[in-house]
Amino acid sequence: MQNKLGLVLLGIYCNVVLSQNVRTFEKPSDWQSKISTSLSGSYKIGDVNGVGRQFDGIGGLSGGGATSRLLMNYAEPYRSHILDFLFKPNFGASLHILKVEIGGDGQSTEGTEASHMRNANDENYTRGYEWWLMKEAKSRNPNIKLVGLPWAFPGWIGQGTVWPYKNREVTAQYITKWVLGAKSEHNLAIDYVGIWNERPFDVEYIKTLRRTLNSAGLSHVQIIADDGSVHSAISYDIMHDQELAEAVAVIGTHYPGTVSSKTTKSTGKPIWASEDYSTFNDVIGAGCWARILNQNLVNGNMTATIAWNLITSYYNDLPYKRCSLMTANQPWSGNYVLDDPLWVTSHTTQFAQPGWKYLQTVGHLSGGGSYVALTDQKGNLTIIIETMSHDQSICIRPPLPAYTVEDQNATFVLEGSFKGKVTKMHMWFTQLGQSGNRDVFLNKGSVAVDKTGQVSIHLPIDSVITLSTITTAMKGSYPTPPAPAEFPLPYSDSFDKTPGFSEPFNFADQAGSYETFHNNTSDDGHEWTFRQVVEERPVTWCSDPNQTITVIGNYKWSHITVEVSIKSESTYGAFVAMRVDKGGCDAREARGVYFWLMKNGSIMLTSDLTAKTMLEQCYFYWECFVADYSELGWNKVKLTIDSSNKIYAYLNGKLALEHTITKDSNIPDNGFVALGTSDYGTAQFDDFSVTSA
């Protein structure tokens, strides 16, 4: 995901519905009547002069970060339905590429993802859910390409610094072991790895990584560099460094605005939009996606485009609500939404496969919009056309210059190996816009190609049309999922191990990493618990807080009671909180009501995660008269905000602190429930519950 500089812009476009020009759906009969009255253009489609660049595919990004966190929580059959819509060939998005975060225990946009190595002697390839997601994708499409990219790194990689290149060999081994673990533990063959998401690249590190991969028998794993916004920098270095040129297989750029620099094109390397889109998944987001899928190739020679993000499986009130291809963030209800960008994806992915070739005869339409053509060089031909207007296709970034699009007619003239051999093409149609009767990914039957190799169609504004010889496309469907519902209240979790996953359901880590933990003995009644396990601050991608925190629940919660048992271990203190108002890269600024148990013998109520704004505090040994407090053992904690905005904090069944919220308290009216620690140290939590106050 983008760095913090882009957060404000992303918030604008992800959360604000822009004004639109409403267009009604046009029936096929209307198209024929407009052939003679609309602007017309003729476009040659053929391989007379050979073919162009190889098509590398369309993909989605899980991570950057924790964007698929809630997906694993879905019950069957809904979880399988969602996965089918994303990955099953000839069904839904039918994605060709799955890119995942190589977790580093640090915040990377929506949350943290677990590292496979928390120290030099630690290797664990069962943490997190990206392994599971890659296996699910592969089970549906064995040909899907897998890409791994780090955002954060565990602290030991930095060797006392915030720089992952401090010891290049160590970092290269860390990434290489992730690739090897994917194969040995999950039988997953990783196809590509990246360097460091949207952060400075190091030429010598890239060379070191290439040598390390080769030495491990992974010469087939290709390197994408540098996954940033200024791709001309790595391109210049490639042009002047032969070893680097041999190390880098693909130039990856983020949010390129459909253009590539002259230097980048001159390298001769495949160019990918290795992260793009990031736009609220309404009809404007679908228009953005449709436009860049074509124009990344037409304008920028980019042969693959990967959407951030794959699926909104994170809480809506974390940053970047619904900036994804589809939405599935209510596992408690089973509800999911097939958003328009998913079906826009199908216009390409169901009609061309990686390894196909773009024809050289691609370009812009005379009335605005663009077209691309691809072939498998075995007689099949696909043409994809988009006519997205400016206001209906604004992406998050960069700014989109003004342009116009008109209703128009197009005649595609087939030449070369297609002339005389392609006699009809199957047509699939999407009409975007704000009208209630718009349709997406409709099978419109076939259109004839005349004896001269010409096929003529009408192109309404804000439409996506695919013409293809491929006959296997399908708009997949399942029974309507359950209706959406609020997060359940009351809610409880005893943290019995979640089968197949290292994290319990519904918690979303915002700093640190929390896992289900099995104690060697259950004599104290706490066999399975929820544990914060990161003991060293990561090499961060965001400006992570010095505390750790995980959130859960309904952001609208206001007057509730939270109960939990807490055992501080190596941490100096632990807390339970409610009305927590921020997550993501802004987690350090999170306000709310925090009830802390500290090892200096004190308990506190604060209104912020950093514990700088004290509401109430007392020390057990001379101020607080609460029996049975154990600094090293288990303590039962209860925090309530009642309907009169009175805060009550209980410790081991006795009232310990209370505070009345006033206008000057600067406490949010609502927010998430949270658990956390005062530093990067271990602590356990158990017997968690939330009820109405």
Report helix, strand and coil shares of the chain as percent, to nearest 5: 20, 30, 50
> How high is the pLDDT of residue 436?
60
Question: What average pLDDT does this structure show over 495-522?
Answer: 88
Known catalytic membership, residue 515:
no
113-127, 292-306, 309-323, 495-509: lowest mean pLDDT where?
495-509
CA distances to 294, 339, 410, 458, 499 from 440, rounded to whole Å, are 17, 10, 21, 17, 38
Question: What average pLDDT does this structure show over 240-265?
Answer: 97
Angstrom distance (rounded) from CA 268 to CA 306: 20
How high is the mean pLDDT of the chain? 93
Q: Per residue in 396-454, pLDDT tens?
A: 999 999 999 999 999 999 999 999 999 999 999 999 976 566 789 999 999 999 999 99
3-state class of 523 per DSSP? coil
> How high is the pLDDT of residue 622?
65
> How high is the pLDDT of residue 520?
85
Angstrom distance (rounded) from CA 42 to CA 147: 39
> How high is the pLDDT of residue 601?
84
Task: Indicate the burial class of 75 (C-beta count within 10 angstroms; 0-12, 13-18, 19 or more).
Answer: exposed
Angstrom distance (rounded) from CA 145 to CA 349: 13
Angstrom distance (rounded) from CA 55 to CA 351: 12
- Confidence grade of residue 17 (pLDDT, cut at 50, 70, 90): very low
Question: What average pLDDT does this structure show over 213-234?
Answer: 92
The angle formed by the CA atoms of residues 509, 515 and 520, to the nearest 5 degrees, is 155
Provide the percentage of residues in the chain whose pLDDT is more than 70. Answer: 92
> How high is the pLDDT of residue 7?
36
Q: Per residue in 671-684, pLDDT tens?
A: 999 999 999 999 99
Angstrom distance (rounded) from CA 90 to CA 306: 19
The b-or-e profile of 657-670 (16+ CB within 10 A means b, else e) is bebebeeebebbeb
Looking up tokens 């993501």, which residue turns up? 584
The b-or-e profile of 370-396 (16+ CB within 10 A means b, else e) is bbbbbbbeeebbbbbbbbbbbebbbbb
Known catalytic membership, residue 198:
yes
Contacts 24+ apart (CB under 8 A), 198-201: 198/1, 198/2, 198/3, 198/227, 198/228, 198/229, 198/254, 199/3, 199/228, 199/541, 201/225, 201/226, 201/228, 201/233, 201/234
For 142, the token pair is: 């064995």
78-92, 327-341, 422-436: lowest mean pLDDT where?
422-436
Q: Which of 113, 275, 386, 503 is catalytic?
A: 275
Kindly tell me if the per-residue pLDDT of 15 is higher than 60. Answer: no
Omega into 309 within 30° of 0, i.e. cis? yes
Residue 93 DSSP class:
S
Q: Which of 581, 588, 666, 593 is nearest to 318 (CA)?
A: 581
For 510, the token pair is: 């915002």
Please state whether 393 falls in left (phi above 0), alpha (psi between -120 and 50) or beta.
alpha
Angstrom distance (rounded) from CA 97 to CA 639: 45
Question: What average pLDDT does this structure show over 229-246?
Answer: 92
Kindly tell me if the per-residue pLDDT of 659 is higher than 70. Answer: yes
3-state class of 585 per DSSP? helix
Angstrom distance (rounded) from CA 469 to CA 352: 10
- Confidence grade of residue 27 (pLDDT, cut at 50, 70, 90): very low
Q: Per residue in 462-508, pLDDT tens?
A: 999 999 999 999 999 999 999 999 999 999 999 986 666 788 899 99
What sign for the dihedral angle of Cα 608, 613, 615, 619? positive
Name the CA dihedral angle for 573, 578, 582, 584, rounded to a multiple of 10 degrees.
Answer: 60
Angstrom distance (rounded) from CA 318 to CA 583: 6
> How high is the pLDDT of residue 625?
61
3-state class of 618 per DSSP? strand
Provide the percentage of residues in the chain whose pLDDT is more than 90. Answer: 87
Q: Which of 395, 547, 326, 522 is nearest to 10 (CA)?
A: 395
> How high is the pLDDT of residue 525?
87
HSE toward the beta carbon, residue 646, CA cutoff 13 A: 6
Greater pLDDT, 59 or 26: 59
Q: Which of 101, 113, 198, 386 is catalytic?
A: 198
- Confidence grade of residue 29 (pLDDT, cut at 50, 70, 90): very low
Question: What average pLDDT does this structure show over 29-51?
Answer: 77
Kindly tell me if the per-residue pLDDT of 600 is higher than 90. Answer: no
> How high is the pLDDT of residue 620?
74
Question: What average pLDDT does this structure show over 54-73?
Answer: 97
- Confidence grade of residue 35 (pLDDT, cut at 50, 70, 90): low
Q: Which of 593, 659, 650, 661 is nearest to 624 (CA)?
A: 650
